[in-house]
Copies of this chain bind each other. A is one copy, B any other.
Amino acid sequence: MSTILKEVLSANDSYARDFGDKAELAMPPGRHFAILTCMDARLDPAKYAGLAEGDAHVIRNAGGRASDDAIRSLVISHKLLGTNEWFVIHHTDCGMETFTDDIMRDLLAGSLKTATVDENGWRNTDKGPGSKEGDYIDWLTISDNAKSVIADVTRIRNHPLVPASVPVYGYIYDVKTGKLVEIPEASAAGKAA
């Protein structure tokens, strides 16, 4: 058993021992909202937005992007589980700003192993096997994180399965301060009708 696996199971034992009355929580989010944010390790949405277990849906992917899958999750969140306000929260210093589709596809074609980055950009340090399958994936990279928040809120707002009654707020989390900074143009685009 790996060290990480042992540590995770040990931490879980402690959590479960002190589980309290959380067994009584209902399936629908008690505070009726959802957050779409990045998978980045520095972000803890429960902490940065003040969530207790049972409060809100949290959807996370690389970039916090409004991918088809994030929209699948948001539509389930509203339609079946009653959330009626949504946040899209990207962040400063996002890994998604450090590469492009072409860079990722070239890296993967050369090797599947972890690449390294320095002031000259990304490079593979070993040789293959790689795969051209990366060519068939849109990596949803980000060139400007205010623009990506606006684009994603707009995509959600205009999606035919999203009711006009759900407001979508657009924010950036600053990894240097912990603060949520609104992107007013995004929140305006996400306004409920």
In the complex, which of the residues B27, B80, B85 contacts A2, with contact meaning CB atoms closer than 8 Å?
A: B85
The answer for the CA separation of A57 and B58 in the assembled complex, in Å, is 14
Least distance between A141 CB and chain B CB atoms (Å) = 9
Residue of B nearest to A57 (CB): B39
Q: Does A32 contact B (CB under 8 A)?
A: yes
Cβ of A50 and Cβ of B12 under 8 Å apart? yes
The smallest beta-carbon distance between A54 and chain B, in angstroms, is 5
Whole-angstrom CA separation of A157 from B161 in the bound complex:
32
Complexed CA–CA distance, A23 and B40 (Å): 14
A100 close to B (CB within 8 Å): no
Task: Tell me, in angstroms, the Cα distance from A50 to B18 when the chains sit together.
Answer: 13
Chain copies in complex: 2
Q: Tell me if B8 and A167 are in contact (CB < 8 A).
A: no
Flag if A162 contacts B61 (CB, 8 Å).
no
Contact with B along A1-44 (1 / 0, CB 8 A): 01011011111111110010011010111111110000111111
Q: Mark A136-148, 1 if CB is under 8 A from B, else 0.
A: 0111100000000
| Residue on B nearest A71 in the bound complex, by CB | B137
- Taking A69-B61, A133-B160 as contacts, is the C-beta distance between A8 and B87 under 8 angstroms? yes
A159 to B159 alpha-carbon distance, docked (Å)? 30
Residues of A within 8 A of B (CB): 2, 4-5, 7-16, 19, 22-23, 25, 27-34, 39-44, 46-51, 53-62, 67-70, 72-73, 75-82, 84-85, 87, 93, 95-96, 98-99, 104, 107-108, 112-115, 117, 122, 131, 133-134, 137-140, 159-163, 165, 167, 169, 175-180
Task: Known pairs A16-B178, A23-B176, A47-B53; list 7 more (Cβ under 8 Å).
Answer: A4-B32, A16-B177, A22-B42, A27-B42, A41-B51, A80-B107, A134-B161
